Amino acid sequence: MNINISPPKTSQAMTSEQINIAESYLREVLDKLRAALDPSTVDLWFGRAKVAFFDGDAITVAAENEFKKNTVINRYLNRLEAGFEEVAGRRIRVIITSRDEINEEENRIFSQAPQPKVKPEEKNQEAALIYHDYTFDNFVVGLSNKVAQSACLAVATNPVIRINPLFLYGPSGLGKTHLLFATVNEAFRKNPGVTVLYVTGEQFTNEIIDAITAKNTTEFREKYRSVDMLLVDDIQFIAGKVAVQEEFFHTFDTLYKMQKQIVLTSDKPPKDINPLEERLKTRFEMGLIADIQPPETELRTAIFKQKAKTLGLEIPNDVLTYLAENIKSNVRQIEGAIKKLWAQSFITNEKINLNMAQSILSDYFRESKAAITPEIIFKQIEKRYGISKEEMTGKKRTAEIVFSRHMAIYLIHEFTDLSLKKIGRVFDRDHSTIISARDNVIKRMKTDPLFGREITEIKEELTQK
């Protein structure tokens, strides 16, 4: 960042006490400036200034924009330093930045995290983005997903030989995407030279539309028809799109005739995807169709246990059972519940127990049938990621908080009739920051299929309540 004196630090390390002290100091300093100068002049240059960081020795103040930042540095920096020294009783270094620069930093954090660990095989960097955290080893198997898991393992071990195509279906959040990437990771382990392409149904649709618009379908077809393994998540997205279905039909036929592996997922079996051309339904049914159902209590308990182990937590069996009995349909909420328990244990220095779980998670499990409001969206994101509303609307900018904050801003804009200005008030940010956060989510949805699926699932969870 190009700023005065030295780069501003982020506020991710600030405690609530530091924030309160710093804001109090800034108010006092500005009051002194108003007394010494024309109040309207002070309000003009500092009216929307905010504390960006304070560690006791240095304070970073964010002006409204670059123009005001430069004016403050050139005209008022010495007065600010003198003012802070007077109110604090000691010298405090003053760093001036702008809200634009703070937004840029937050946008950078959002674009980079939290990303799954990615290690594309060097030969396949152009063809696939493989998430190595998803493996068969960390996929918990039970009666509700055993057939799907076995089928994926067979495909990964001997592509095309046994099952082609493989069609997985079931509600969101039950592990279909996990199995897709586990299949690819195992296939790479067996044959590092295999070429793989993973896309969502929405991404396939967008790419063919772009190709048709640009009159460049040849390059599109070369991309999709030259791989050894094609995996399409949420294939039901192409339903009702005639031109897209036509292109996918020919892509499917070409790969199948070349004996290339095809794996598809959907929220429903082929016969129930409507409107979908009959010739596609029959092709989807040519191989093996395997469903994944909501996990039984024993499997949910095992999933909780593994997730807790991954996070380094010890959770008693009675608490695991309590969690498993209350989270029945979407195992993605598991991590959010565990993080909430961890946070309570960390704050109170109390071991996780059943009484704590029942107290902390009682509202967490209560479903609302009311219209979707910002509060419902905050609660849904907290369920999923373990980040509270206070953190999302606060000043900290850790990767997880920025990620959740931008998601909340986007969803509130999507599901409520609040204006950008009113959403800004909810987050104590100006409307340009809200626009930037919303646009970041939209941009990432277009380039990151897994993230796009995450958004889709949250939307489904919100609308199904």
Residue 419: predicted pLDDT: 83
Residue entry with tokens 């967490």:
364
Residue 120: predicted pLDDT: 41
Residue 15: predicted pLDDT: 63
Residue 24: predicted pLDDT: 87
Q: What is the full per-residue pLDDT of the chain (465 aa) written as tens digits?
A: 222 333 344 444 456 677 778 888 898 999 889 888 888 888 888 888 888 888 878 898 988 888 888 889 988 999 999 999 988 888 989 999 888 777 777 777 776 655 444 444 444 433 344 566 788 988 889 888 999 999 999 999 888 777 899 999 998 778 898 899 999 889 888 888 889 898 889 889 989 988 888 888 999 999 999 999 999 999 999 999 999 999 999 999 999 999 999 999 999 999 999 999 999 999 999 999 999 988 777 888 888 888 788 777 888 888 888 888 777 656 667 777 887 888 888 778 888 999 888 888 876 665 544 578 999 999 989 888 888 999 999 888 888 899 999 999 999 998 888 888 889 989 988 888 898 899 888 888 877 777 887 888 888 888 765
Full strand arrangement of the beta sheet holding 58-63: 50-54, 58-63, 93-98
Residue 30: predicted pLDDT: 92
Please write down the HEC assignment for all residues of the chain. CCCCCCCCCCCCCCCHHHHHHHHHHHHHHHHHHHHHCCHHHHHHHHCCCEEEEECCCEEEEEECCHHHHHHHHHHHHHHHHHHHHHHHCCCCEEEEEEHHHHHHHHHHHHHHCCCCCECCCHHHCCCCCCECCCCCCCCCCCCCCHHHHHHHHHHHHCCCCCCCCEEEECCCCCCHHHHHHHHHHHHHHHCCCCCEEEEEHHHHHHHHHHHHHCCCHHHHHHHHCCCCEEEEECHHHHCCCHHHHHHHHHHHHHHHHCCCEEEEEECCCHHHCCCCCHHHHHHHCCCEEEECCCCCHHHHHHHHHHHHHHCCCCCCHHHHHHHHHHCCCCCCHHHHHHHHHHHHHHHHCCCCCHHHHHHHHCCCCCCCCCCCCHHHHHHHHHHHHCCCHHHHHCCCCCHHHHHHHHHHHHHHHHHCCCCHHHHHHHHCCCHHHHHHHHHHHHHHHHHCHHHHHHHHHHHHHHHHC
Domains for the chain: give ranges and CATH numbers.
Answer: 16-112 (3.30.300.180), 122-291 (3.40.50.300), 297-464 (1.10.1750.10)
